[in-house]
Structure 1
Amino acid sequence: MHPVAPAWVRVRLRTAPGAAAALALLVALTACLASAFPRALDRYEDTGLVRAVERATPQRTTVLMRAPQPGLQLPQRQREQALLPQAVGRQYAAVLDTVRRPLAADPGQSAYGVQTRNDLAVPDLWLSRPSGLPAKVHLVARSGLAAHSSVRTGRLPRASGEVTAATAEVEAAVTAETAGKMRIEVGSVIHVPAVSRPPLAVRVTGILTPRDPDGAYWATQPLLRTPDLIRLPSPDPAPPEYWLGVLLLPPEAAPALLGTAGYAVPYWQVAPDTRALHAHELDGLKSAVASLESGPGLGRVREATDPGTQASTELDDVLLSYDSLRSGIVPLVAVAAVGSATVAAVVLLMAGGLAADRRRAELALLRARGASLPGLTGRLLAETAVVAVPAGALGLGAALLAVPGGRRTAAVVAAVAVTAVACAALPLRAAVAHRVVRVHGPREDTVSVRPSRRRTVAELTLLVIAAGAVEALRRRGVSGGSGDHLVSPAPVLVGVVAALVLVRLYPWPLRRLARLTGRMRGVVGPLSLARAGRTSVSPVLPLLALLTALTTAAFGGSVLAGVADARDRAALLEVGADARVEGTGALPAGLPDRVRRAPGVRDVTEVSLDHWAKAGRTMRQVPLAGVTPAKYAALADRTGLGAFPAEQLRRPAGAGSRAPLPALASPSVAAAYGMRPFPVRLGDGTEVTVRITVVRDRTPAVTGTSFLVVDRAGLSRATAGTSTLLLTGGHLDTGALRQAVGKSASVQLRSVQRTRYVDSPLQSGAETVYTVAVAAGAGYAVLALLLSLLRAAPERAALLARLRTMGLTRAQGRRLLVLESLPQALLASAGGALTGWATIRLLSPGIDLTAVALPSTAASLGGSALRTDPLSLALPTAAVLLLAVGIAVGQAWWTGRRGSVRELRAGDAR
């Protein structure tokens, strides 16, 4: 057997090079896509995690550890030595050693040192005093100052000789911002109050510029580079304030801090290395941060530093926020991934089945001549592996090159799985078909065959399992952030149920139609239905592939459409129209006319907006908008933001100045003041009386959940001045609009606001991966349809040739093939639309697309539930029908070109 197998393989490859090349191409493409998916997933998740940590700023993400000041019970010499850089630096190295993977420290942005915890008021009158209060400072002896700053003026500070708590003068440096705002110059001497001794003189020797001001070294404690203007609580309109800054001492001068009243403490700043952050290690990252903040890691830090060391960071909150966002996105992406993977697996199985069907006679003859079943399957496995294994390796290599980054293990596993399925498809199909030695098998027509008991039991078992899982999912519901494992295979489960049911129901309408068309005079109709019912090809796999692909495409299209709708809606709620022009006060008189003439502007609605209006006796601040009722009602109806009849807001004709104005209010304002008249004090000091007549959740003029809208004709002249313009138009020219407005007001466009909602690479990456996965699934569905039609192509060509010899015209031949392929195409398209609709209906109650569509800062603008997108259902369905008809027409045309004699000979040979 062993010497013969290689020869067998060589002969087969030489006799069927086209089939081998097609299999290699299919395996390479599938392995490439399967390997690229987990790497792309890792890539955008890692990028999203890094972006989340970077946006959170080092002030939140750095782990800052502080030990108490060396105790007074220690000798003075020992207290001073505990603050020297040799001791604090040795502890810093031990602290870095306690950081456990997957959390990694960035030594370039981490630091250590000694600083005063208390604000120290300095008496020097030459320092900046905005309110006459003395400035305050912190003393910080910090490591790495020379590496993280450049000297603008002067030089870096130095420690002359041995510095102790009794040292009278030390050197320091300040940043350029601190020097400019506090009026510090090189050579300035700042006297810092000391305890039981004269003040500590701090001489400024240099003014520094941070090399990376936004890096963790400086940004963890922003006071190091930028002084704060502290305002004291006061009822006065101008509260007293003072400057608080930092004086940067050399690390060797740290013992001098013990002589001040600042409570000198050593600290260690551990900045996370964003290059080492990986989303698949998120659970480990959260555990490592928790351990370092209040767990075993902190215990090890205390062993190396001081039992009273405390750690503080908000990195755990940042990771939790990212995890919440990811958990809302991953289940949706997994739906597309599982659907596409299922379709690809079915196509690989169909390719093996097609090869086994075409070689049925050859394999049956080998079995009849004594070939054993293990020997036959082994030869087929070797024959397939010679082609599939190199192709799978090629696809894996292409994926690794095309998608850099991400884990290689998942990519290799995906490629191996694809290669294994491709290798096993032909041998397993042949083993099942030829387990019994036979030369001629019975016909298995779709209409007349009675499924075996084994098949019935297997289908019922699979049906019960799938239906039970779907029912459990329907009863329990699923949240987009729950990570429920039933969400991902939901389209596949529904497709399995639909495929099994439709295959069982498929013969019934065929029999009925066959009886009805049997009475027709023409031959094409009855013959096509007879042909559709006599095919021996099992429709389960092609139907399952098409249903899964159509369902995934419908689900994916609905997700993408829902995301787009959510962003459009949020942008509309934020802007109020297609564009918004808003000033701090009344707009120039000619501005509305200039804006109306801008390209793309269809209509302009003028609004008088008073943000400082106060309602009722409680003087609750409620934004009030004065509008022209007719135009504003039209705008509200056009935008869908709280449409209302204009008559309910219009001021009654002939009403006196004291008559209450009809008002449109938000539910919160209506609940607070009811439907009775109540006074409203406007920003200019005048007062009007309003009565709520309309209640709406939203309104175009005001963003938020608290507002009043009245007829501007009832307002004072000053308040009724136009302060806001709401613009509508299909294609607004941003440049022309900004030019027309000038500097008199701000311009906010709905289209620009919409682009800002893609806040994280996690969102944009999820959309990209989702789109590619759905497109790949659709491509494999087309391939499945082609394979299913290719199985019967030789038989159809021979039949058409025979009928041509009997007088069948070319037009009748085209109609025959089209009508023969239509039943299965209609079955797949109708079943795909039905299963897509059912899947969306099943999952929509528990899936919220807000995590994908909007950033967390805009989540208050409203969520977005999954809804059926008619276009996503109709387009794939129509594509399946058009493709089936197109293939049938193309086959009829090609058969007509080849000639009947050749096809008859080919058919006889078969």
Structure 2
Amino acid sequence: MKATAPWVRTRLRTAPGSAAALLLLVLVTSFLAAAFPGAVAAYESRGLRHEVSATSPDGSVIQLSSDPWQDVDGEPEKIFDALEARRLTENYQQILAALPKSLRVDTGQSAYGARTRKPVAATDTWLPELNGGWPVFTLSAQTAVAEHSTPASGRLPRATAGSVTPATETVEAAVTSATARALRIKVGSTIHVPRANGAPLAVRVTGIVEPLRPQQSYWSVEPVLRTPTYLHTPDQPPLPYWHGALLLAPEAAPVLLSMGGEAYWRVAPDPAGMDVADLSRITQTIASLEQGPLLSALRTEVAPQLETSTGLDDVLIEFDGIRAAINPVVAVAAFGVGSVAGVVLLMTGGLAASRRHHELSLLRSRGGSVRGIAGRLLSEVAVPVLAGAALGCALALVVVPGGRTPPALLASAAVALFACATLPLRAAFLHRRPRLHGDRNDLVRARPSRRRTVAELTLLVLTVAAVTALRRRGTSDGDADALISAAPVLLGVIAALLLVRLYPLPLRLAALPVARRRGAVGFLSLARAGRSSATATVLPLLALLVALTTVAFGGSVLSGVADARDRASLAAIGADARIDADQGLPDKLAGTVRNMAGVNDVAPVYRDFDLDLRDGRLDRVTLLAVDPDSYARLAGRTGLGPFRAAELRKSSGVLPALASPAVAERLRGRATEIGPADGPFSVRVDKVLSTTPAVSDGDFLVVDAAGLPGRHLASTLLISGPSVADADLEPAARAAGSAIVKLRSAERDRFTTSPVQSGAERIYAVAAAAGVGYAVLALVLSLLQTSAERTALLGRLRTMGMTRRQGRRLLILENLPQTLLAAAGGALVGWVAILLLAPGIDLGRLALAGQASLGQVRLRADPVSLLLPALGVVAIASAVAAAQAWLITRRTTTTELRVGDTR
């Protein structure tokens, strides 16, 4: 007896195209699902590393210090041992061993040693004396100076272990090149510094070194080690004096005990080794190190009075706040694309079940059980689905850098499970009872069941709860869950269900006038649209509405982010570009800049940052003396406090002025004498402005420069022009002295440097593209599902005299009502979703990452994101229907009459 051919092999050989298409669909869906958590984790990790790297070394390094006099209770032998190089190295190793692996340490930039707690004044008269007095020095015995510098002259200081005590009278030291130049120190110079007891310590300079990588942590946690600075006396006015550093050998550290020295350890974190998955553990480690069990353990091992300080916890907390505010907004895109992908997979299973309806009915009528048929279909579908899911997951792990395996595997497994279950469950539901012919399920005649009504009401309640929670709690604090993030998707689902219920009404109304016309194409197209299956209408409409809502929401998010950055950069610069100088700019510079290519207008402004309002208050007020015409044009063009130029022109002895609210309150709307600005003058506030172009923050008073006593050269030029960034402003500014050029485009770019922002924007862009792709696929699947029936219908109509042109028009118009409904509904639902959800969504962190403040940045509807996808859906649907109609009408009538014949 010949063996029966295996079911799976037979089915795959019979329909290889369908299996390949399913594999490709699952592969793409699995790739997107597996790549999403990895992409989010990757850009968050890059953002974490960026934030730590961008922080100044003194703000990110963990600093530990110990005062030997407090730690050893006055026992001399222990005090001397506390600053020995050997002991400091042992303590450093103990500190590194106590830190968990999640906090990776950059040992190359970490440092330890001993230093004087306060600078000590030198007594040598050959050192340069400033108005504030003689120079002071910090004496530091920091390890590994040789590894972090190159000798410029002389040699590094030397000392042998145990040879230096607190009573030692002479030690060797090195200085950096910058210190030597500023303080006139040479190799062989001797600097004397006083001590609490005994003779002054003589420090002989044996070498001058040039720091390597001076901006990194080793030299920059305490910048005076590489570059001398100014300190100021407490007098009024403060007077400057030099502060430098003397670099002792590590073995000479005990001598610092005679000058109140302390031991220190500076642990530099390694940003390259940080991962967002370790963020919570790193934060807990820092907290434990500052005030917790880890500090207690180190005090037991290192020093009883060990003190720790760091700004790394503030950096991590700020980053976590930005991340927590952005994640709920990104989750909206994930829910939207995931929902559309799920609907498309459902449609794929429904299409397969519809195409094989008669085959499965025959199996059921011949005794096949529902369980057996579902099992065979599951085994048949599992081959392409599992292969596609595995390939998609592997591709995601390769393409996405830093992708994590467990989340990717779980996401791909969920896609595979869903894709495998759609066809068997759909077939099992349709064939749970053997039926000779299926009942008609026309969209116009179908009446929703009670179960469907209950399910829709449940979804409605969930949607109301999600929208209410989002409006009340918002996303700015990161306190958002899955229900809140799914609010736009739920709105799209509810809208789809509502439109399906309302769909028959416009069809009936449209059919009335069309039925009276002589042509049959219009009437037949509306009749055919009403005869379509309710199930076949719901899923495509659901996919289109959710996709359009997601695209509209995502486009509005990106548009809102771009608009916030434009406004923040404009508020910071005040125009397209500006030139600032501490002193007055030459009068001819404004004319030179005005004649440059790309420049439309220039507004000169004189600024005085310390205007005296003569009311006894010390609050700083900025005086802006402007040219009324050019400044009014600029204010009107930018929208930053627009006014009419005539409002600033002097008509009497009192200068009219524009003021910020606080200044207007202080001047109380009456003529007041203020100044000086080369002499007192009287002003009266005629208009209150909250903003003005020349000042980004703080209180201000704007007057006509021509009305001020004396002559005032402009200290700022505000420049407008469409391509002002290309203008040759730098040479003109250099010719004017120490002027600084600031561009609005450069200021805007500053808001996009964070990888968290750029990564979230890329996620939204990919989500919008994926949503559009799935929506187009849903359109194609909906047309393929009724392709056989349309072919048979057109064949019958052709035998009755319908031309090919009429047949093509019929197929195109038949699909148009549903497409127009989806397009109009999608645009409307997207607009409503944005209106409902905008109060709960703050885009400030996503747009500006805390670098500027515009208050709460609200989500606003973007007309392009609402209308363009909807029009695209109509165009694509029409094109697909036209292509399908062209293919069908090319077949012979004899073939068409037998295709799809169900009776």
TM range (shorter): over 0.9
Matching of residue 150 in structure 1 with residue 144 in structure 2: no
Residue 668 of structure 2 is matched in structure 1 by 674
Shift of 1:475: 5.1
Tell me how far apart the structure 1 counterparts of residues 160 and 633 of structure 2 sit (CA, whole Å): 78
> Which residue is 1:297 aligned to?
294
2:765 to 767, 771, 776: 771
- Which residue among 824, 829, 840 is the counterpart of 2:823? 829
**Against the structure 1 CA distance between its residues 474 and 584, is the aligned structure 2 distance closer, same or farther, given a 3 Å change threshold?**
closer
1:142 counterpart letter in structure 2: Q
Match of 1:786 among 780, 784, 787: 780
What is the alpha-carbon distance in structure 2 between the residues aligned to residue 663 and residue 326 of structure 1? 44
1:738 positional shift: 4.2
Matched residues in 2 for 1:245 and 1:741: separation?
A: 34
- Matched residue, 1:807: 801
The residue identity in structure 2 corresponding to 1:35 is A
Displacement of 1:682 after TM fit? 4.4
Paired position in structure 2 for 1:184:
185
How much identity, in percent, do the aligned residues show? 52
Cross-structure match for 2:511: 514
Alignment of structure 1 residues 535-550 onto 2, 5 Å: 535-536=532-533, 537-550=535-548
Q: CA deviation at 1:773?
A: 1.4
Partner of 1:734: 726
Q: What amino acid is aligned across from residue 77 of structure 1 in structure 2?
A: E
Mapped partners of 1:245, 1:47: distance in 2: 37
**Is it true that 1:365 corresponds to 2:362 in the alignment?**
yes
8 Å CA contact 2:217, 2:268 repeated in 1: yes
Q: Which of 446, 450, 453 is the equivalent residue of 2:447?
A: 450
Query: Which residue number in structure 2 is paired with residue 130 of structure 1?
Result: 130
One-letter amino acid of the structure 1 residue matched with residue 227 of structure 2: T
Cross-structure match for 2:263: 266
2:568 equivalent among 567, 570, 582 = 570
Q: Quick one: structure 1 residues 728 and 81, their matched pair in 2 at CA, closer, same or farther if it must change by over 3 Å?
A: closer
* 3-state SS, counterpart of residue 590 of structure 1: helix
The equivalent residue for 2:50 is 51
Give yes or no for contact 1:332–1:480 (8 Å, CA) kept in 2: no
Q: Quick one: distance in 2 between partners of 1:717 and 1:251? A: 62
Counterpart secondary structure, 1:130? coil
TM-superposed deviation, 1:908: 3.5
Deviation at 1:586, TM superposition (A): 4.3
Q: In the superposition, relative to structure 1, how do residues 675 and 292 fare at CA in structure 2: closer, same or farther (>3 Å)?
A: same
Choose the corresponding residue for 2:754, options 745, 756, 760.
760
**Partner secondary structure for residue 858 of structure 1:** coil
The alpha carbon displacement at 1:732 in A equals: 2.8
Are positions 1:90 and 2:90 aligned together? yes
- Would the alpha carbon gap of residues 61 and 365 (structure 1) be closer, same or farther in structure 2, given more than 3 Å must change? same
Q: Which amino acid aligns with 1:736?
A: D
Task: Tell me what 1:141 maps to.
Answer: 141
Deviations 1:392-427 (A, max 9, x none): 221122222212113222222222222222222211
Q: Measure, in 1, the Cα distance between the counterparts of 2:408 and 2:50.
A: 24
Distance 1:583 1:19, change over 3 A: same
The verdict on how the C-alpha distance between 1:748 and 1:85 changes in structure 2, with shifts beyond 3 A counting, is closer
The answer on 1:558 being equivalent to 2:551 is no
Residue identity matched to 1:33: L
In the alignment, residue 105 of structure 2 is paired with which amino acid? A
What is the aligned counterpart of 2:862 among 869, 874, 886? Answer: 869
Matches within 5 A, 1:95-134: 95-131=95-131, 133-134=133-134
Cα 1:232–1:586, aligned 2, differ >3 Å: closer, same or farther? closer
Amino acid of the structure 1 residue aligned with 2:351: L
The answer to whether the aligner puts 1:634 opposite 2:633 as a matched pair is yes
The answer as to whether partners of 1:678 and 1:690 remain within 8 angstroms in 2 is yes
Count matched residues.
895
Which residue identity is paired with 2:174?
A: A
Q: Relative to structure 2, which stretch is displaced further, 828-837 or 62-71?
A: 62-71
Matched residue type, 2:43? Y
Alpha-carbon distance change, 149 to 602 in structure 1, aligned in 2, over 3 angstroms: closer
- Secondary structure (helix, strand or coil) at the match of 2:245 reads strand
User: Residue type of the partner of 2:524?
Assistant: L
Instruction: Rate the CA distance shift 1:17–1:149 in 2: closer, same or farther, 3 A.
Output: same
After TM superposition, give the deviation of residue 855 of structure 1 in Å.
Answer: 4.1
Go from structure 1 to structure 2 and tell me whether the alpha carbon gap of 1:806 and 1:844 turns closer, same or farther (over 3 Å shift). Answer: same
Give distance in 1, aligned partners of 2:497 and 2:714: 66
Matched, 1:386 2:386: no
Q: Is the Cα contact below 8 Å between 1:668 and 1:705 reproduced in 2? A: no
- 2:700 matched to which residue of 1? 707
Q: Which position in structure 2 is the counterpart of 1:193?
A: 194
**Cα separation, 1, equivalents of 2:838 and 2:509:** 37
Counterpart residue number, 1:694: 687
Alpha-carbon distance in structure 1 between the residues aligned to 2:700 and 2:78: 66
Mapped pair 1:424 → 2:425: no
Structure 1 residues 242 and 630, CA gap change in structure 2 (3 angstroms) = closer
After TM superposition, give the deviation of residue 62 of structure 1 in Å.
1.2
In the other structure, the counterpart of 1:489 is: 486
Contact 1:361 1:439 in 2 (8 A): no
Letter in 1 for 2:574: G
- Which residue matches 1:463? 460
Q: How far apart, CA to CA, are the structure 2 residues paired with 1:520 and 1:707?
A: 72
Question: Which amino acid letter does the alignment assign opposite residue 688 of structure 1?
Answer: F
Structure 2 unaligned spans of 5+:
none
The correspondence of residues 325-364 of structure 1 with structure 2, limited to 5 A, is 325-364=322-361
Shift of 1:739: 4.8
Say whether 1:24 aligns with 2:16.
Answer: no
Deviations 1:81-117 (A, max 9, x none): 2322222222222211221242222222223222221
C-alpha distance 16-533 of structure 1, shift in aligned 2 (>3 A): same
What SS does the corresponding residue of 1:907 show, helix, strand or coil?
coil
Matched, 1:795 2:796: no
When normalised by structure 2's length, the TM-score is 0.94
2:818 counterpart letter in structure 1: Q
Work out which of the residue numbers 395, 400, 423 in structure 2 matches 1:398: 395
- Kindly indicate whether the alpha-carbon contact (under 8 Å) linking 1:661 and 1:711 is maintained by their aligned counterparts in 2: yes
Q: 1:118 to 1:39 in 2, by over 3 A?
A: same
| 1:469-484 matches, cutoff 5 A | 469-474=466-471, 476-479=473-476, 481-484=478-481
Q: Given the alignment, which residue of 556, 565, 586 partners 1:588?
A: 586
Residue matched to 1:599: 597
Scaled by the length of structure 1, what TM-score is found?
A: 0.94
| Structure-2 separation of matches of 1:767 and 1:626 | 42
SS of the residue 1:147 aligns to: helix
Cα distance in 1 between the residues matched to 2:582 and 2:85: 54
Whichever residue aligns with residue 47 of structure 1, its letter is R
